[in-house]
Structure 1
């Protein structure tokens, strides 16, 4: 068995990419839900526009800054990020615009763990942000609440 640590290989950097009809609204929801920060790509976009490397129609105004029209990411506030591009270098979710609506159950979902005794207040807070409760689960292995974000993507609160 080969491991990254023992053979000197660098771990693979990753992000979770989520398809969305409205990536900016999804980013706002998940930034609030996870207490993450929305990435600010304004400086990068300004440079790309000045160089003619990005068409103006690929850009929108978002929170009084320029943002990519079809994608936006949120990142953990304690993780490093590239100050020149605004891109997170740690835990992040990237929302990308797709034309088709969600039609089937997620094959991948996020599990949120707000802490012992905090499930009910967290479910209430998330509902206030626009999520909805799909069902409550209680099994010998544990209990959790299955929820859906504003676009119907399932996630669990433990």
Structure 2
């Protein structure tokens, strides 16, 4: 029996504020009610996997052990980085190379790491072979 990912959860101070940042970055929707938890997902009523933002009293104290790698579905990686910075992200690592490969590491407004990679149009066709385990 396999499991599917329902949500990726972020502990945060401002669930609606951080959800709004990520919704803008991903082009997804923000869903909430009177509960302090907020979901960002592509659509409703069957959103599929989403991002869940839960307010917690303690602040972030260490580097994330898991982070999101995102890539633009339109435009370029560099345009996506500019858009993320304009929305409140901070660049912490620039791994772009002269040949156009590479990625940029950023922090969201609450310090969660994420990377922006090149989109499919910039990468071109994949040449590696994927193997399935299990």
Which TM-score applies when normalising by structure 1? 0.65
Query: What are structure 2's unaligned runs of at least 5 residues?
Result: 118-134
Pair 1:130 & 2:122 matched = no
Which ranges of 4 or more aligned residues in structure 1 deviate by more than 6 Å?
none
Query: What are structure 1's unaligned runs of at least 5 residues?
Result: 1-8, 42-66, 83-87
* Separation of aligned partners in 1, 2:55 and 2:14: 6
Pair 1:76 & 2:42 matched = yes
* Separation of aligned partners in 2, 1:99 and 1:23: 12
* Separation of aligned partners in 2, 1:100 and 1:13: 26
Structural mapping, 1:80-99, within 5 Å: 80-81=44-45, 88=47, 90-99=48-57
Count of aligned positions: 115
The corresponding residue for 2:24 is 32
Q: Could you say which structure has the larger radius of gyration?
A: 1
Structure with greater strand percent: 1
The corresponding residue for 2:111 is 152
Which TM-score applies when normalising by structure 2? 0.76
Pair 1:104 & 2:104 matched = no
